Chain A
Amino acid sequence: MKQAVISCLHANLAAVEAVLADIDQQGINTITCLGDLVGYGPQPNEVVNLIRQRNIPTCQGCWDEDIIDGLNACECSYPSQLAERRGHRAHHWTEQQLTEDNKAFLATLPMTLRRNSHLFVHGSPNSQHEYLLPDMSAFAALERVDSAGAEILFCGHTHQPYVRELSEGSIQVKVQGNKEAPVEHELKLPVRRIVNAGSVGEPRHGGTKATYVIHDDNTQEITIHEVEYDVAATCQAIVNAGLPEVFAWRLSHGFEYAERADDASHVCER
């Protein structure tokens, strides 16, 4: 059986429709969404409605959490004053647009979803705000997956799709007895995988195409898919909505709406 995993939709309806059409065309019925349905993009209600209509299991992203809590992402997660002000504008606009019903829906989303040995989260098992970057230390990465009791951890949040296999790891332990010479033990670490689904609505992989992943349960193959969509339509909708025009420019060039935090491992403790 194949399953598709999508993440970081960011209120970009054209991108979400294109990705769902691509998944449908392959006859894949199991879809999981890793959150951030809203934020920055121009169609928050339309995107939430579509996910609800399709009944796609979804976990809560950092933007989904912030909108329903009436909070912006903590200030320390913005890399600059400019990014913070733009983030606040996007937050304020989204909060005004979202229907109460859709806010209530976002409030019900779980932090994590689990299907057999697969764990689905937005950022990491610890927080919706933590970035699991591909170059994170292997030990820390393995800790995130293994402590959550998963074999494959599906995450998003970074907007950069990747598949990382954590294998051939071991820990050497030297046990010193009272009288005997120390005894060395080598513990083989299990093979684990982290799969980042990238972003449907705000790609950050160097291009403008929406990204998502497909996992084949039979072969254990994981593939990253890129889907073209009508970027110009979303850009026009951004301008029409009165969101900062620079969001449209950034999206049309494959840049994120606002810059990512300098400290990618930062976890907000507010």
Chain B
Amino acid sequence: MGHIWLITGPPGCGKTNWILNTLQNHSGPKAYLQLHGHSSNELEQAGNVGIDRAWLKDQIPDLQHAEVNAELVQEPQKDQLTLIEWPQFHPPKTVGIEGADPSLLNTLSGMNLSPQRVLNFGCDAELPDQDTLRFTRLESWSLNLHGQVWDPNSLSSFWFELVNGAYGDVYRAKALMNLPDGRAFLCNWMVSQPSSQFLPLKNVLPPLGRPQRTSELVVQGKALNSPGIESTIHDCLLSDEALELHQAPLREQFNQQQSTPSLV
């Protein structure tokens, strides 16, 4: 018998972080499913990005993604905990599954899923609420950065400008960014927080060209200057030649480490 919980809340409220902690504390099998939220003219959801999935998978290598294996949640393993994330701008009028959006209920029903628990940021006292904001207008913009690698100092400048308002009123920014040395970082900003988080992925790749893993940026806010953001990003990303300049000495170091016999 498995457990299925539905986690909802507005952008930036801490859903993914809470899901990460909950799954890490669960000793049995773990599964995760991310569903699309609904947008309106005034409130745009972030396009379905792979940032959360990739981040959670990096932090919990044995995490199963239910998107690619529907049987996982329909026929759960013993003691499996499945967490379903669903972004929702407004809190439900009633708590529990009855308060869920009808279209979400249809989606869940179509997947033969019936969560035993529904947890909503902003409603449930057991969830933190310091980052749960009520938005009345929100634009979303995202950019796929697959295969792109940042000049590290440029990334630092760009992120500083982005979250301090150089490209519009940014309330929320989240990204997975690749660095030339094979590391990648989850960059995370919420207007209610005093500073950004830069969390390294556990999975460090060898410095061998362009990494083939999820890399995306999502920005939410008001009056976003997306051409300006894109233009600055263009100035920050490394060309093949510049990437090789960064990686060649690191590769040499990496190869030496690989060929050095261990004394253990």
Contacts and interface: CB of A to CB of B under 8 A. Distances in A.
Interface of A: 79-83, 85-86, 245-246, 249-250, 253, 259, 262
A80 B152 CA distance: 8
B107 interface: no
Interface string B99-130: 00000000000000000000000000000000
A259 B157 contact: yes
A83 B156 CA distance: 11
Interface of B: 151-154, 156-158, 161, 164-166, 225, 228, 232, 235-236, 238, 242
A79 B157 CA distance: 10
Contact of A80 (B151, B164, B225): B151
A259 B157 CA distance: 8
Nearest to A89: B235
A253 B164 contact: yes
21 contacts: A79-B153, A80-B156, A80-B236, A81-B151, A81-B154, A81-B238, A82-B151, A82-B153, A82-B154, A82-B235, A82-B236, A83-B154, A245-B225, A245-B228, A246-B166, A246-B232, A249-B165, A249-B166, A253-B164, A259-B153, A262-B153
A94 to B, nearest CB: 18
B237 to A, nearest CB: 8
B228 A86 contact: no
A253 B151 CA distance: 24
Nearest to B239: A81
- Interface residues of A, dominant DSSP: helix
Given A246-B166, A249-B166, A80 B228 contact: no
Contact of A81 (B164, B165, B166, B236): B236
Contact of A82 (B157, B166, B225, B228): B157
Contacts of A246: 161, 166, 228, 232
Contacts, number: 43
Contacts of A253: 164
A79 B160 CA distance: 15
Contacts of A259: 153, 157
Contact of B153 (A80, A85, A249, A250): A80
B227 to A, nearest CB: 10
A83 B161 CA distance: 13
Contacts of B225: 245
A80 B166 contact: no
A259 B156 CA distance: 11
B161 A80 contact: no
A86 B153 CA distance: 14
A85 B235 contact: yes
A249 B157 contact: no
Given A83-B153, A249-B166, A259-B153, 17 more contacts: A80-B151, A80-B157, A80-B236, A81-B154, A81-B236, A82-B153, A82-B154, A82-B157, A82-B235, A82-B236, A83-B154, A83-B157, A246-B228, A246-B232, A249-B161, A259-B157, A262-B153
A262 B156 CA distance: 13
Contacts of A85: 235
B246 to A, nearest CB: 11
B164 A82 contact: no
A250 B228 CA distance: 14
Contacts of B235: 81-82, 85-86
Contacts of B236: 80-82
A82 B160 CA distance: 13
A80 B161 CA distance: 14
Contacts of B161: 246, 249-250
A239 to B, nearest CB: 12
Contacts of A245: 225, 228
Contacts of A262: 153
Contacts of A80: 151-154, 156-157, 236
